[in-house]
């Protein structure tokens, strides 16, 4: 498979080149040149496979050429060995809906499904090229720990993650700082999350430093992350329908950066019998406003009890736009120019109808989120985390729908406690965290200080 950019400015490249490139060099996002189609017989057969077997089948047509099928199977096997559930992403039924549990990985959130795979994939590609990668990122809490767990112990990768000192939850902080592997470098900065992001941007713009130290990112725009997430849509469909191809399912997806739901869109384009995709946002509703009005426009960020969806702009949205514009990069460029110039873009009435045929969108407020956690607990004795509660609420009135559960409720104990008066039992990965040894540097929120720390740390290795 070859990969191209949504903006048309990249000569077709291979899967491994696309993974190492991350963001396309023309500022766009990378996508496969075509989407492989899966027929009804194949779907039926896939419904009988284990998660790992299925992952090989789903991913293989996208990989090809530079990685063998055996290597892919081995990568997948190793990546999901860190999950605490045999089924990796099990489906449970509560009342008239299904919950696809994506939180059985080492950091108890769905990002593990993609980042466990991406970490191993990076390592394999670096072994090939003889290179070394230094990952640099800023986190407001969740992505940082999933990225750290994705690459801990890898020989060819070092990871530097900045978090705002004492402004992430104690569990989130411990999840990161209790990882003692010598390729993991936690930095608490004396500043805010925005300061952290600005420092990361500044260092990525320091082209000499970026080149010399092979800086890389692990944000949600890497194609391999989307690809790993396509798998569980097929898996859930197989478990629920047992391969009955006449059964179309509706998936409800709590979303922020449009990554997870875009994976569902790809699954549908491949031939998975999907009825609708419910796009569920919290108060940060740029995406639900887009679906319901055809206008994509950033507002300021609100802090909510589902912080992993507190975003202003959705980094994967451009990928969907590319398909909505019938794969015409010049149309995407025009729209992105509108966005850069006016802070908004708008699509035609005809395109809006197309969007609303597939997507149903709802923004869920804080009170509704708490009420949903309460109701589900009362009637089904099941504890939702606040992100998942947003998805469940948005799917109200659609019996048989499948809601993606993106975090374990014990990770967001305060919101859960506020809703139902008790906290969820933590999974093994979150137990005993407060007693473990930690490793973390405390530094000024200053790009030059962080750069010096990175240089010295790497020189000492």
Site string for ligand PLP, 97-136 (x = CB under 6 A): ------------xxx-------------------------
**Beta-carbon neighbour count of residue 314 at 10 Å?**
24
**Token code pair at residue 334:** 């025009």
Residue 436 burial (10 A CB sphere; 0-12, 13-18, 19+):
exposed
**Which region, judged by CB under 6 A, interacts with ligand PLP, from 35-43, 188-196, 249-257, 437-445?**
249-257
Q: Does 259 bind ligand PLP (CB under 6 A)?
A: yes
Residue number with CB closer to ligand PLP (222 or 406): 406
**Token code pair at residue 15:** 């899967």
Residue number with CB closer to ligand PLP (259 or 447): 259
For the chain, report the end-to-end CA distance as a whole number of angstroms.
37
Contact 269, 322 (CB under 8 A): no
Contact 127, 191 (CB under 8 A): no
The residues in 175-234 that bind ligand PLP, with binding defined as CB under 6 A, are: 220
**Which region, judged by CB under 6 A, interacts with ligand PLP, from 195-203, 254-262, 292-300, 371-379?**
254-262
351 is catalytic: no
Residue in 116, 140, 257, 292 binding ligand PLP, rule: CB under 6 A: 257
**Which region, judged by CB under 6 A, interacts with ligand PLP, from 55-63, 253-261, 291-299, 328-336?**
253-261
Q: How far is the CB of 143 from ligand PLP (least distance, A)?
A: 7
Q: Does 255 bind ligand PLP (CB under 6 A)?
A: yes
| Alpha-carbon gap, residue 56 to 230, rounded angstroms | 12
The residues in 11-50 that bind ligand PLP, with binding defined as CB under 6 A, are: none
Q: Burial code of 53-86, b = ≥16 C-beta within 10 A, e = fewer?
A: ebbbbbbbebbeeebeeeebbebbebbbeebeee
Which one of the listed residues 44, 111, 201, 357 is annotated catalytic?
A: 111
| Cβ within 8 Å of residue 149, ≥6 positions away | 82, 105, 106, 107, 112, 115, 116, 119, 179
Residue number with CB closer to ligand PLP (104 or 387): 387
Q: Does 372 bind ligand PLP (CB under 6 A)?
A: no
Q: How far is the CB of 244 from ligand PLP (least distance, A)?
A: 29
The residues in 374-403 that bind ligand PLP, with binding defined as CB under 6 A, are: 387
SS3 state at 439: coil
Which DSSP symbol is given to 82? T
| Alpha-carbon gap, residue 275 to 433, rounded angstroms | 42
CA distances from 75 to 116, 151, 228, 405 (A): 10, 13, 12, 24
- ∠ CA(262), CA(245), CA(95), 5° rounding? 70
Q: How far is the CB of 142 from ligand PLP (least distance, A)?
A: 4
Site string for ligand PLP, 142-181 (x = CB under 6 A): x---------------------------------------
| Alpha-carbon gap, residue 289 to 183, rounded angstroms | 42
Q: Does 407 bind ligand PLP (CB under 6 A)?
A: yes
Residue in 258, 265, 317, 377 binding ligand PLP, rule: CB under 6 A: 258
**Which region, judged by CB under 6 A, interacts with ligand PLP, from 63-71, 252-260, 320-328, 337-345?**
252-260
Q: Where does this chain bind ligand PLP (CB under 6 A)? A: 109-111, 142, 220, 254-260, 308-309, 387, 406-407
Would you name the residues annotated as active-site residues? 111
């Amino acid at each position: 498979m070859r990969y191209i950019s949504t903006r048309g400015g990249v000569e077709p490249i291979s899967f491994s080149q696309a993974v190492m490139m991350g963001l396309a060099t023309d500022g766009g996002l990378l996508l496969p040149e075509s989407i492989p189609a899966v027929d009804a017989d194949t779907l039926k057969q896939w419904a009988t496979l284990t998660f790992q077997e299925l992952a090989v089948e789903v991913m293989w047509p996208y990989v090809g050429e530079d990685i063998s099928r055996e290597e892919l199977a081995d990568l997948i096997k190793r990546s999901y060995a860190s999950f605490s559930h045999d089924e990796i992403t099990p489906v449970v039924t509560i009342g008239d809906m299904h919950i696809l549990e994506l939180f059985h990985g080492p950091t108890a959130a769905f990002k593990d499904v993609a980042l466990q795979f991406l970490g191993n994939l990076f390592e394999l590609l670096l072994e090939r090229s003889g290179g070394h990668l230094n990952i640099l990122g800023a986190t407001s809490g969740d992505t940082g720990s999933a990225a750290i767990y994705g690459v801990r112990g890898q020989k060819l990768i070092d990871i530097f993650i900045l978090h705002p000192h004492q402004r992430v939850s104690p569990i989130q902080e411990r999840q990161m700082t209790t990882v003692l592997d010598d390729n993991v470098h936690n930095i608490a900065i004396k500043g805010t999350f925005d300061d952290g992001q600005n420092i990361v941007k500044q260092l990525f713009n320091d082209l000499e430093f970026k080149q010399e130290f092979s800086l890389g990112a692990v944000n949600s725009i890497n194609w391999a992350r989307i690809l790993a997430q396509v798998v569980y849509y097929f898996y859930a469909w197989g478990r629920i329908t047992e391969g009955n191809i006449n059964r179309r399912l509706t998936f409800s997806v709590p979303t922020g950066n449009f990554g997870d739901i875009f994976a569902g869109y790809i699954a549908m384009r491949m031939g998975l019998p999907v009825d609708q995709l419910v796009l569920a946002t919290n108060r940060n509703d740029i995406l639900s406003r887009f679906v319901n009005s055809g206008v994509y426009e950033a507002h300021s960020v609100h802090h909510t009890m589902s912080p992993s969806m507190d975003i202003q702009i959705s980094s994967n949205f451009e990928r969907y736009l590319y398909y909505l514009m019938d794969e015409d990069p010049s149309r995407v460029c025009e729209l992105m120019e509108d966005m850069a110039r006016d802070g908004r873009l708008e699509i035609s009435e005809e395109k809006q109808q197309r969007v609303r045929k597939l997507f149903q969108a709802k923004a869920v407020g804080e009170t509704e989120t708490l009420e949903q956690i309460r109701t589900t607990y009362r009637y089904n004795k099941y504890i939702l985390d606040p992100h998942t509660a947003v998805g469940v609420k948005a799917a109200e009135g659609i019996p048989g729908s499948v809601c993606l559960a993106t975090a374990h409720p014990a990770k967001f104990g305060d919101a859960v406690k506020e809703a139902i008066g008790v906290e969820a039992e933590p999974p093994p990965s979150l137990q005993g965290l407060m007693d473990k040894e930690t490793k973390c540097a405390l530094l000024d929120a200053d790009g030059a200080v962080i750069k010096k720390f990175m240089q010295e740390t790497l020189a000492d290795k």
